[in-house]
Amino acid sequence: MSSVYQIYRSTTIGLALDETLHEFGRRQMFTPRIVHYILNIFDYIINEKLSFSSNQDKKSCCLIFKGHLLSYRSCDQVWTLLFDSITLTSTMDSSWKITLIDKKQKVKIIACPTTNPPNRNVFSFQMKPSKRFKSTLEMNLHS
């Protein structure tokens, strides 16, 4: 069973897409259904891209972090972790290091349970417009 998360919509690339789609919607170039459809496609692709990359790097750990956990909460298996100091290093690049030890500059980690990467067949099926979607389009064209 594979599923995709919508959590990556809150990232920079997700927000950029969301703003672009809303602008298209304001200009009446996209219907809300198309906007919803493209966002779903984005969810599938970003989940697949990140999962595919993590499966490739099974041998080596990419990122190591140490820090002080200020607070945490877990709701419906979704963890929210708040660090008030954290140091991140990379095993792939020894020169890469980020140190955030400013107490005012906290780091929040939002983590969902790991899911299997989305199935390609399901993915390709989802990319096709549904029958209901087609019929709605036809109705709009006829009207």
Partner 1 sequence: MAVSDVKKIYQDVIEDVCSAVREALTAEGCDDHTLQELRNLWLERLENSKAVEPPTTSTVDQVTNREYRHPTTGDTNHSSTMNNKHPAGIKSVHSRVQQATNSGVSNFNNYTTATNLNPSLLSSANSIGSQFVRATYSITPTNPSNIGNSTMQTANQLDGAHDEECTKKSKQHRKKKPPIIEISFQLDGTGPPVGDDEDDDEDSDLEGNDVAEDLEDDDDEDGAEEGKEDPNPLCSDDDVSDDEPAELFETENVVVCQYDKISRTKNKWRFILKSGIMNLEGRDYVFSKATGDADW
* Residue 63 Cβ vs partner 1, minimum distance, rounded to whole Å: 4
Q: Is 118 an interacting residue with respect to partner 1 (CB under 8 A)?
A: no
Q: Residues 110, 120, 125, 135: which binds partner 1 (CB under 8 A)?
A: 110
Cβ 17 to partner 1 shortest distance, Å: 6
125 binding partner 1? (CB under 8 A): no
Q: With beta carbons less than 8 A apart as the criterion, state whether 9 and 18 touch.
A: yes
As a whole number of Å, the end-to-end CA separation of the chain is 40
- Under the binding rule (CB under 8 A), the answer on residue 108 touching partner 1 is yes
- Contact flag: residue 50 with partner 1 (CB under 8 A): yes
Paired tokens of 41 = 């496609």
Q: Round to whole Å and give the CA distance between 43 and 17.
A: 11
Q: Contacting partner 1 (CB under 8 A), which of 3, 36, 129, 135? A: 129
What is d(CA 22, CA 74) in angstroms, rounded to the nearest whole number?
A: 32
Q: Could you count the other beta carbons within 10 Å of the beta carbon of residue 100?
A: 16
- Pair 79, 58: CB distance under 8 Å: no
By CB under 8 A, is residue 68 in contact with partner 1? yes
Binding status of residue 22 toward partner 1 by CB under 8 A:
no
Which residues are CB-neighbours of 20 under 8 A, at least 6 positions away?
none
- Give the residue, chosen from 80, 120, 125, 135, that forms a contact with partner 1 under the rule CB under 8 A: 80
For position 4 contacting partner 1 by CB under 8 A, the verdict is no
Q: Could you say whether residue 36 binds partner 1 (CB under 8 A)?
A: no
Side chain identity at 81, as an amino acid letter?
L
**73 scored as a contact of partner 1 (CB under 8 A):** yes
Q: Does 2 bind partner 1 (CB under 8 A)?
A: no
